Amino acid sequence: MILPVLIVVLCLGGFASLLSERSNPDAPRWIAIITLGMEALLVAVQYTKADCIDIMTTGMSPAWFAGFNRPWIPRFGIGFHLAMDGVSLLLVALTVLLGFMAVSSSWTEIKNRQGFFFFNLLTCLAGTVGVFLSVDLFLFFFFWELMIIPMYFLISIWGHENKTYAAIKFVIFTQVSSLLLLLAIVVLAQISHNQTGAYTFDYFKLQNLKIDPDVAFWLMLGFFIAFTVKLPAVPFHTWLPDAHTQAPTGGSVILAGVMLKTGAYGLLRFVIPLFPEAAHQFAPVAMTLGAVSVLYAAMMAFSQSDLKRLIAYTSVSHMGFILLGLFSWNLISMQGAVITMLAHGISASALFMIAGALQERFHTREMGRMGGLWSTLPRLSALALFFAMASLGLPGLGNFIGEFLVLLGAFKVNVLLTSVTALVLVLSPIYSLIIIQKAFHGPLQNQSFGSDFNRRELAALGLLVLATAWLGLGPQTALNVSAPALKQLMQDNVAMEP
């Protein structure tokens, strides 16, 4: 019963934030904090007291330790079916953590229409949690769409100079790809009707369909394009730098830390399990796209002068690692992909929070107009150095563990692609150190001194420091949580094994 409550709490918190602004302009942000606190408590309870599922009556494997299923539109076999395994638990926990970071980074930045801002923020998080929990494809698509519209408002209302252009571009890319996803889902339901005489959108029942190989390939491609647009991977990535650059800091935190992971989650949860033979056939292309994304985005990153745009390209590069790891389809590479999801979500969100803090203080994102900040903002500069090192994959931090496992697993499948991808180990220090050199060292470019990080900002980023170090020094905790789900996926989809 906890699973639907995870979604409902965020929705109710969003409406409470919207209504509370009439009585107190500062109330919405406090309601958002309370809502996320309740959400964190529910996630902790779910972790410690996982529900037992009757496998005989649900058809679900032991890897799924919590479930909720009620009829919704019985005529078409649509149910409100939620389930949680180790991967979805980790991603829901990441969503809650970065929800706190988004609220913290918006604390003083958002000055107008706070109620509507936090309504959209919490609604976007509710849609994201729904995506991570849905095992009915119609319900999954409902939540997939639910998280897009609030993000559009976050960018178009509270964004920066070219916010309308960036918001519309974001919607066009995501909606066109969502149309392909919807078409593929409907065709799957029709195939189910043709074979069994009944429509169903249930993930577990659809896995048992016998689909013509040619049809399966095109359906897989529809899912793949939809998820790689959201991931994003080259060549579907062009919306992301604009969206990140123009979004408010809280929007960038949610976009980089959580929403991009829904694309990776879709590839892991739906593309390969539903179409194992087609995915195996397509794997070399997918792995090539992953390698190209890693290198191309890294090269684009160190040619940027806009700090947020640079960080956005690093996100595309890290998502390439996830694509490479997933389609290598062995336990090591998949666990590396999951750790990369978590570690990138934390480090990229922290870098966007730092970029937002600099923009709020100096009213610029251009690194050439910063410089010399280490002497004036030592706490902010030290945290920027830490997360820049995390982004380049410093051993002992989470990103290193994820990328190392991906490369180790991919090496077993394709030596050439893995070797080419490893070149990013040369490129990533370049763009990471460019941030530090241009923004924090050299002569002081901006004489309008801003204040250093306050206690709220230090507490928020300090929590992310601990999370990154935990993933780097003690990754086994996360690996143990995700391992049963990943092993079950591999067991159910032997056609993908190299």
- Segment 201-223, tens digit of pLDDT: 999 999 888 889 999 999 999 99
Q: What is the pLDDT of residue 253?
A: 95
Lowest-confidence pick of 21-25, 235-239, 257-261: 21-25
Q: What is the pLDDT of residue 50?
A: 52
Q: Give the mean pLDDT of 160-184.
A: 92
Which residues, including other chains, have CB under 8 Å from residue 425's CB and lie 6 or more apart? Answer: 393
pLDDT above 80: residue 54: no
Instruction: Read off the amino acid at residue 21.
Output: E
Range of the domain at 470: 2-496
Q: What is the pLDDT of residue 172?
A: 93
Beta-carbon-side half-sphere exposure of residue 205 (alpha carbons within 13 Å)? 20
Q: What is the pLDDT of residue 57?
A: 36
pLDDT per residue as tens digits for the range 346-377: 999 999 999 999 988 888 888 888 888 888 88
pLDDT per residue as tens digits for the range 379-432: 999 999 999 999 988 999 999 999 999 999 999 998 998 998 888 888 888 888
Q: C-alpha distances in angstroms, 411 versus 333, 375, 426, 465, 486?
A: 9, 44, 18, 30, 19
Q: What is the pLDDT of residue 460?
A: 94
Instruction: Read off the amino acid at residue 44.
Output: A
pLDDT above 50: residue 53: no
Asked if 251 and 472 count as a contact pair (C-beta separation under 8 A), the reply is no
Residue 128: pLDDT band by 50, 70, 90 thresholds?
very high
Task: For helices 331-362 and 86-105, give the axis angle rounded to 10 degrees.
Answer: 10
Q: What is the pLDDT of residue 471?
A: 94
Distance separating alpha carbons of residues 366 and 245, to the nearest angstrom: 11
The count of domains in the chain is 1
Which residue is associated with the tokens 């390698």? 291
Q: What is the pLDDT of residue 52?
A: 43
Look up residue 74 and give its DSSP letter.
G
- Rounded to a whole number of angstroms, the distance between the first and last alpha carbons of the chain is 39
pLDDT above 80: residue 197: yes
Q: What is the pLDDT of residue 495?
A: 52
Which residue is associated with the tokens 């013509």? 212
User: In degrees rounded to 5, what are phi and psi of residue 67?
Assistant: -155, 155
Q: C-alpha distances in angstroms, 32 versus 21, 145, 193, 259?
A: 12, 22, 43, 19
Burial of 277 (0-12, 13-18, 19+ CB in 10 A): middle
Q: Give the mean pLDDT of 177-196.
A: 93
Average confidence score pLDDT of the chain: 89
Q: What is the pLDDT of residue 61?
A: 66
Rounded percentage of the chain residues whose pLDDT exceeds 70: 95
pLDDT above 50: residue 56: no
Q: Give the mean pLDDT of 17-34.
A: 91
Q: What is the pLDDT of residue 433?
A: 84
318 versus 442: the higher-pLDDT residue is 318
Instruction: Read off the amino acid at residue 281.
Output: Q
Q: What is the pLDDT of residue 136?
A: 94
For the whole model, what pTM was predicted?
0.93
Q: What is the pLDDT of residue 449?
A: 61
Q: What is the pLDDT of residue 223?
A: 95
